[in-house]
């Protein structure tokens, strides 16, 4: 698993549950004292061990933890860069949703060895969608559900999300767009801030 | 064949948010939503195009008349008002005296333009790759930032590793840091030991004459000889440049120390070949022994060995001097 993803898991655990929890998880799973390097690659097994240890300590399911992490990735101020990159997908939630088809390609443009889930958006009706997630690693559906929930808030859209059980390695998120302009959402200035 | 395409201005505005439509006398008649943001508070309609833009290329298009005739020509232009943004564009004439249509683009200046004019995603055509470009600029900046952090951490780790290392990387001998450990151990255990300070003679001449690569080679050969002439338990340290410290542990007497020192000098004086050159060095040595002192302390012994070494240098080099000890036992030794 790419260091960027491992590092995200580390930051999520540190920021959400505090450094002591991360230290226990790192020690149990055999991650070095400095944690993950964002620009290096690691064995998938290590990522599994980290998540497994975190689930045990927090008494949470892997699914719930990944969903919380998806939300964290968009809503934590420390990861404002990532939120901005996602907002480049479109000027409203619907455009953003459709841009997810390109997410993997966009990520590869920036970091060519970053392997994000392969996403496909299927329009069932103008307000009902299915997001099909294919990945070498289970949990992408829950990760995307958390991320979509936070992005809907970001755009000010009101959505209903539900993950279906994985079938043939495909994890599907059912998205119902109830109101695309439910609240004001957060601002997005196309120009990057100085600094 | 009929190939006139009927198209409304509304459709043009959809396709080209950065277009501007000029009347036959070169005034701005209408423009796309993105173009309108170029002049934040003013109304561009009715103004002469050449009053708003400085057309840099081609020179023939600098006047209104020239511009109106520039069919299919690529333009390079810049805003006359601050921030003097540069743009590129293409001009096409419209039929039936409809004036001209110019489509503009920011080119590489787009990153600044987005900030200067407060542009949004919707200001660009859906087919325009500008948004992808902006995305890449930010993504690359974030990646570079991570890489810079990684490099800084690796650099820090390298420095820390070097500081912790006990080996002199050029010669494979122990380094000054290792010597501190050895002396601390000897002092703790209170066992007898001999100390030798060695400084190469004529080494600077080798460096100056044959270059640093030759000098490095000589240092490596010297190190080899020093290791061969000492026992496993002895410690050979390169404390810097062409200076070495040798610590002889275990039973050792003045005579043996002197014999070893002379043999080292003898072997060092054999020319060392490097790349066809014969490099000749020798050594000046100062020695002392812990048994000379009532309570041997390292610093005093080092100073005495050092003084003995300089006595060797002053006496003409290539020789061994045993430290003259103003010892409490009243024993004065010199060699």
ipTM rounded to 2 decimals: 0.81
Q: How far apart, in whole angstroms, are the C-alpha atoms of residue B52 and residue B316?
A: 86
A149 in Cβ contact with A136 (< 8 Å): no
Q: How far apart, in whole angstroms, are the C-alpha atoms of residue B199 and residue B181?
A: 22
**Burial code of A95-129, b = ≥16 C-beta within 10 A, e = fewer?**
ebbebbeebbebbeebbeebbbbbbebeeeeeeeb
What pLDDT was estimated at residue B237? 96
3-state SS, B231-244, equals CCCCEEEEEECCEE
A155 in Cβ contact with A89 (< 8 Å): no
Shortest CA distance from B120: residue in chain A: A190
Q: Is residue A79 less than 8 Å (CB to CB) from chain B?
A: no
pLDDT in tens, chain B (335 residues): 567 888 999 999 999 999 999 999 999 999 999 999 988 767 889 999 999 999 998 888 888 888 888 899 899 999 999 899 999 999 999 988 889 999 999 988 898 999 999 999 999 998 999 988 999 999 998 899 888 988 888 888 888 887 778 888 899 899 988 898 888 888 888 888 999 999 999 999 999 999 999 999 999 999 999 999 999 889 999 999 999 999 998 778 889 999 999 999 999 999 999 999 999 999 999 999 998 888 888 889 999 999 999 999 999 999 999 997 654 344 444 43
Instruction: Give residues with Cβ within 8 angstroms of A142, minimum separation 6.
Output: A62, A63, A64, A66, A67, A70, A163, A171
**From the candidates A88, A105, A111, which should be mutated to test the interface with B, based on the most B CB atoms within 10 A?**
A88
Whether B143 and A106 lie within 8 Å, measured CB to CB: no
B104 in Cβ contact with B37 (< 8 Å): no
Q: How far is CA B105 from CA A2, A91, A121, B86, B109, in A?
A: 37, 21, 32, 9, 9
Q: What is the DSSP code string of A74-120? A: HH-GGGHHHHHHHHTT-SSHHHHHHHGGGHHHHHHHHSTT--PPEEE
What pLDDT was estimated at residue A193? 62
What pLDDT was estimated at residue B30? 94
Residue A192: DSSP 8-state: P
Q: Token digits for A142?
A: 């829950």
* Å between B154 CA and nearest CA of chain A: 11
Enumerate the H helices of B53-175 as residue ranges: 64-69, 110-117, 130-164
What pLDDT was estimated at residue B289? 92
Q: How far apart, in whole angstroms, are the C-alpha atoms of residue A144 and residue A134?
A: 11
B119 in Cβ contact with A190 (< 8 Å): yes
For tokens 């997908």, the residue is A89
Whether A192 and B141 lie within 8 Å, measured CB to CB: yes
B102 in Cβ contact with B75 (< 8 Å): yes
Q: Token digits for A73?
A: 């990735």
Q: Is residue B141 less than 8 Å (CB to CB) from chain A?
A: yes
Q: How far is CA A47 from CA A125, A139, B10, B64, B82, in A?
A: 37, 12, 53, 66, 52
Q: How far apart, in whole angstroms, are the C-alpha atoms of residue B250 and residue B186?
A: 10
Residue A17 DSSP SS3: helix
Q: Which fold has domain B176-322?
A: Alpha-Beta Plaits (3.30.70)
For tokens 């036992």, the residue is B329
Going A27 to A29 to A33 to A38, the CA torsion angle's sign is negative
Contacts of B120 in chain A (CB under 8 A): 91, 190
Q: How far apart, in whole angstroms, are the C-alpha atoms of residue B151 and residue B145?
A: 10
Residue B74 DSSP SS3: strand
Q: How far apart, in whole angstroms, are the C-alpha atoms of residue B205 and residue B272?
A: 14
What pLDDT was estimated at residue B334? 44
Q: Token digits for B311?
A: 């006595």
What's domain A91-179's architecture? Alpha-Beta Complex (3.90)
Q: Kind and range of the H or E element at B249?
A: strand B243-249
- CA dihedral B14→B18→B24→B28, nearest 10 degrees, is 110
Domain boundaries, chain A: 3-60, 91-179
Strand order across the beta sheet in which B282-289 lies? B235-240, B243-249, B193-201, B282-289, B320-322
pLDDT in tens, chain A (195 residues): 999 999 999 999 999 999 999 999 999 999 987 899 988 999 999 999 999 999 999 999 999 999 999 999 999 998 888 999 999 999 999 999 999 999 999 999 889 899 999 999 999 999 999 999 999 999 999 999 999 999 999 999 999 999 998 899 899 999 999 998 888 888 888 887 644
Q: How far apart, in whole angstroms, are the C-alpha atoms of residue B153 and residue B127?
A: 42
Q: Token digits for B54?
A: 């400085």
Contacts of B142 in chain A (CB under 8 A): 81, 85, 110
Instruction: Give residues with Cβ within 8 angstroms of B5, minimum separation 6.
Output: none
**From the candidates B116, B119, B138, which should be mutated to test the interface with A, based on the most A CB atoms within 10 A?**
B138
Annotated catalytic sites of B, by residue? 242
Distance of CA B174 to the CA centre of its chain: 28
- Looking at domain B9-126, its CATH superfamily turns out to be Haem NO binding associated domain (3.30.450.260)
B198 in Cβ contact with B285 (< 8 Å): yes
Q: How far apart, in whole angstroms, are the C-alpha atoms of residue A50 and residue A68?
A: 15
Contacts of B115 in chain A (CB under 8 A): 191-192
- Cα distance between the two ends of chain A: 30
């Amino acid at each position: 698993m790419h260091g960027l993803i491992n590092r995200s898991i580390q930051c999520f655990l540190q920021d959400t549950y505090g450094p002591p929890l991360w230290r226990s998880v790192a020690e149990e799973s055999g991650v070095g004292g400095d944690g993950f390097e964002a620009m290096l690659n690691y064995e998938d097994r290590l990522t599994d061990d980290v998540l497994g240890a975190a689930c045990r300590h927090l008494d949470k399911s892997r699914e719930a933890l990944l969903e919380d992490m998806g939300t964290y990735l968009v809503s934590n101020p420390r990861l404002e860069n990532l939120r901005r990159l996602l907002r480049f997908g479109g000027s409203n939630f619907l455009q953003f949703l459709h841009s997810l088809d390109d997410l993997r390609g966009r990520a590869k443009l920036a970091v060519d060895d970053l392997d994000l889930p392969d996403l496909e958006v299927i329009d069932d009706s103008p307000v009902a969608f299915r997001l099909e997630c294919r990945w070498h690693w289970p949990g992408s559906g829950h990760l995307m559900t958390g991320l979509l929930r936070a992005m809907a808030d970001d755009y000010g859209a009101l959505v209903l999300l539900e993950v279906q059980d994985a079938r043939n390695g495909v994890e599907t998120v059912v998205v119902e767009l109830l109101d695309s302009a439910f609240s004001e959402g957060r601002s997005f200035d196309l120009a990057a801030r100085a600094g | 064949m009929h190939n006139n395409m009927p198209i409304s201005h509304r459709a043009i505005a959809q396709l080209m948010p950065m277009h501007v439509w000029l009347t036959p006398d070169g005034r701005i008649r209408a423009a796309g939503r993105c173009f309108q943001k170029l002049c934040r508070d003013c109304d561009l309609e009715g103004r002469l195009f050449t009053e708003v833009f400085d057309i840099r290329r081609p020179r023939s298009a600098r006047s209104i008349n020239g511009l109106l005739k520039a069919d299919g020509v690529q333009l390079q232009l810049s805003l006359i008002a601050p921030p003097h943004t540069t743009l590129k564009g293409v001009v096409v004439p419209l039929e039936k005296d409809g004036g001209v249509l110019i489509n503009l683009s920011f080119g590489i200046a787009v990153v600044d333009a987005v900030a200067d004019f407060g542009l949004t995603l919707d200001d660009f055509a859906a087919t325009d790759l500008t948004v992808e470009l902006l995305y890449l600029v930010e993504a690359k900046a974030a990646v570079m930032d991570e890489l810079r952090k990684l490099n800084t951490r690796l650099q820090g780790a390298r420095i820390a590793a070097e500081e912790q290392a006990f080996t002199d990387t050029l010669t494979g001998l122990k380094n000054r840091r290792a010597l501190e450990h050895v002396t601390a151990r000897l002092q703790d255990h209170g066992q007898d030991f001999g100390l030798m300070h060695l400084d190469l003679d004529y080494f600077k001449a080798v460096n100056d004459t044959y270059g640093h690569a030759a000098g490095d080679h000589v240092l490596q050969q010297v190190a080899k000889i020093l290791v061969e002439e000492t026992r496993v338990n002895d410690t050979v340290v390169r404390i810097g440049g062409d200076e070495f410290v040798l610590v002889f542990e275990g039973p050792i007497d003045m005579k043996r120390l002197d014999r070893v020192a002379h043999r080292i000098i003898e072997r060092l004086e054999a020319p060392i070949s490097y790349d066809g050159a014969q490099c000749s060095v020798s050594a000046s040595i100062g020695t002392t022994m812990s048994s000379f002192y009532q309570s041997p302390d390292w610093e005093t012994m080092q100073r005495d060995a050092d003084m003995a070494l300089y006595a060797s240098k002053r006496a003409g080099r290539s020789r061994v001097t045993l430290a003259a000890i103003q010892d409490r036992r009243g024993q004065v030794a010199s060699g």
